[in-house]
Structure 1
Amino acid sequence: MRFLLAATAMAVVFGAAGTAQAQDSAISGRVDRLEREMRAVQRKVFPGGAGQTVEPQITPETSTTVPGMPSSSPLSDLTQRVTALEEQQRTLTGQVEQGQYRLRQLEDAFAAYKRLADNRLKALEDRSTATAALGGEDTTVPADTAGAVIRPPAPIGTRPSIPAPGAGTTPAAPKPTGTRAQQVAAIEKPATGDPAEDGYTYGFRLWQAKLYPEARRELETVATKYPTHRRASYSQNLLGRAYLDSGAPSLAAVAFYENYKKNPKGERAPDSLYYLAQALIKLKKPASEVCKVYTELDQLYGDKLSTEMKAGVAEGRASQKCK
């Protein structure tokens, strides 16, 4: 009986295998079903097992295809993967280059900010420690005057003097003594009814007394508040000299250049251009820039220069070896 059942099961398996060969698309499922049935029959025939089960002689073929792998050739697959990696590399390279460019921009911006902060700090320190005038020299050049014609200043000994405000009869300010507040209080503040004239006169007296921060405050107020008044040109020019005398040549140059540029017909425009040249020398600018300033001064204001200023320009040109 047992052999008969086993033979029957094997015949079924052989028949299934033959059918599978004829029907290639359904063989796998049918073989699985038949195997399950055969195992069920074996469990009935051999309840305890004990190695007495009969293994089928025909088994389904084992597929060598790895699930999920493409059916294309290995070379084609590798080519696609390499192409994808190259595209990712190009993307990463572009991102790195953009990051480096932005980093350079930030570094340049920080360096510019640091230079500006250092200049301002130095100007504040110079103002607080200045105790004496520098002989009335103007030694600063504005940072935004690259396109301006700049000429060398004349020697200190031939530098033109600055006229006193008003009719030229204003007495020299007394030498201040005592605390800072007492020194400022000792300077007489005029009250003629003309605020621009009074502000310039007061600023001039503070400048004479070497109270430069207070003088700059008054002079800047006049130049800003009364730009059309004749004393605006005087105030802006003297503002530059106050910066220069307190050891802040860069700020002085800005003041001189603005007076010359914004008010070229002002009475102190020639003086500002003259002192701007001296500022360039103090800043150790190239002689070519200084000579350009002197040339422009001669071309624009040659017939308006005083004898003393003309002599200063001539000596300045000679010292800078201007052609």
Structure 2
Amino acid sequence: MKFRLALLSGAAFALSASAVAQDANIDGRVGKLEKEMRAVQRQVFPAGAGKFIAPDIQSPTATKPENTTTTSATSDLLMRVDALEAQLATLTGQVEQQGNNMRGLEARLKILEAQLASAQMASAPQETEVPATAQATTAPSVLPAAAPVPVAVTVKPKPVVAAAKPVATAAKPSAARVAAVAAIERPATGDAFEDGYTYGFRLWEAKFYPEAQATLEETLKTYPKHRRASFLRNLLGRAWLDDKKPATAVKVFYDNYKADPRGERAPDSLFFLGSALTDLGKTAEACEAYGELTKAYPDVASGRLADRVTAGKTRAKCK
């Protein structure tokens, strides 16, 4: 019995000793791990402890929004650049087309001016040939008879003088016209350009076209680069057109469009250019002017000038 008790007590002591040794081994391993963790923590956070290490699984999600935002911004920028390039190409094409149309109109107008100049020169000699023919017909009559010669010489020059007088008297305004023009108020606001334009407009509105032409031309000569010169040139062309002088009006309207295609009255000048060309019988050129108006200024041609353009095309019989 005593022997069995001794064996049991020895076994219990051995088990307790092994348990104590095992606990000591575990404590040592745990302590070692804690030291290693603290060492790692000091390397990761040299400024001190208490920091939180985010899990690795969250790192990709944190960078995704940045990459997505950068990619989206780059894509938007590329799309805007492509759109700008497309718009620039479209505008370049329109400018080139407008330049070609302007060159075509200019060439046709030069031909028209040459035709008008030759027509005026052709009509001028016919008026001067009358006295020359009269003198030529009287010359043979001088040879056979000596008596009629003084009579022919004294009588024939008189028609020449009489033919020159109407030209001088036609250009001279009557006293009543001078008084009527003087009755129109000339503004004096301190702005010389606006005063000249307004006074020219009042003269044109009162149908004193030559006086309006002189006033507007003088104002334009003094202020050719004024910001409202487009208005003045267009009104000057209308003064010539309403004065039944479409040939001069054609040049004024075309010059206004060519000098300032972005001017506020450039579309109007193209319309009146077509009207003046129609008055001259140049319906093909008039239709080209209306076509240029529609291409260069589609909003104006289909807006405030729509009715006029339609009527002008009908009058010129444009297709």
Q: Quickly name the TM-score band, shorter chain normalised.
A: 0.3 to 0.5
TM-score (structure 2 length as normaliser): 0.45
Higher relative helix content: 2
TM-score (structure 1 length as normaliser): 0.45
- Taking CA–CA contacts closer than 8 Å with sequence separation of 6 or more, which of the two structures ends up with the larger relative contact order? 1
